[in-house]
Amino acid sequence: MEIIQSQIHNSRPAQFWNLLMTCYNKKLRQTRPEQLHNFIMAPLHSRVNGWSLPLHSFQLITLLLYSYLAVVGFGIYIPLLPTEWKYAAYGAIGIIFVHHLITHLVAVTIDPADRNILVEKNYAKPMPFFDRSKHKHVIQNQHCYLCEADIGPKTKHCITCNKCIANFDHHCNWLNNCVGSRNYWFFFNAVASAVAGNFLMIVVILYVFIQFFVDPAQLRTSPQFENFSKNGTWLAFLPIAPVEMTATGILAIAIFTVLLGGASFLMLGHLLLFHLYLLCKNMNTYEYMTQHRPKQSTESREMSEETASATTCRMEPLQDLSQVRKPDDATPSSVSA
């Protein structure tokens, strides 16, 4: 220890600080991908769809949020609406919620791979090594050397799914699946119905909240309230399984739900407007991100060439694996928006 301290003391201050800063250089601390000379190791197996393991935590969040809004909306607040509005809300919001659930599950379940991949690929078969000494890019002349199949002109190879996606748009963590031409409209319908369902549910809850202070009698029209007409007891889950609640509980849950639904509405609304813009421009998310990527240095561009992201979804194409996993570069990290 005395020898080390003596060396540090006797060395030039500039050299010492240069050495110290080098030790904390971020690039030197990053982990490189596993390499075998000119070979690059891809993940062993490809994913089939959004149910393939490992599942993403965002999937659980999505299902929990959907379940919470359905239980609170249909169990507490819609039953408190006046009779002439109650059944209209049940019908309209119920159809939207069912539509969202179906389109969401279909978007997760569909395999978005290129048609030739669906015909030729064996998902149980391990992926081959990619040999850069033989091929410069993973995809050349519309042939993928990892999937070992001819593919369409807009097909991209996704890192996460580890297969070629037909008309690749983006990889969505909320679906835990890629979005391509095979499931894009199910994804779009799921987003649109989620925005509409959130908006209508917020309107219903705000009406109940305001009416509670203006004229609470308009919220107590159900026959079950006749036994509680002289006290402040409120009922939830009418008319099937009435549960007594306090006025404070009704209001507190309303405030929390409006805040939660409002945040969800803003994020999903932004995503919906973005995809409406893309449809008007006749382009997909990947094309938009590659065209609007800010100018970067050559090294930075190589590091982020295949990891562009948009809104709540992650894009991970592998059109050119040599740009993503070069021996002198660090492993690119995925960016979620």
- State the pLDDT at residue 334: 33
Tens digit of pLDDT for each residue in 195-216? 999 999 999 999 999 999 999 8
Q: Residue 65 pLDDT > 70, yes or no?
A: yes
234 φ, ψ to 5°?
Answer: -115, 160
Range of lowest pLDDT (11-20, 57-66, 183-192, 272-281): 11-20
Residues annotated as part of the active site: 172
Mean pLDDT across 327-335: 34
Q: Residue 112 pLDDT > 90, yes or no?
A: yes
Range of lowest pLDDT (74-78, 153-157, 292-296): 292-296
Q: Residue 25 pLDDT > 60, yes or no?
A: no
Share of the chain above pLDDT 70, in %: 70
237: left (phi > 0), else alpha (psi -120 to 50), else beta? left
Q: What is the dihedral of CA 276, 282, 288, 291, to 10 degrees?
A: -150
- State the pLDDT at residue 189: 98
Mean pLDDT across 122-126: 79
**Average pLDDT value over all residues in the chain:** 78
Q: Residue 119 pLDDT > 50, yes or no?
A: yes
Mean pLDDT across 247-257: 95
**Bridge-based pairing state of the strands 143-144 and 139-140:** antiparallel
Q: Residue 282 pLDDT > 80, yes or no?
A: yes
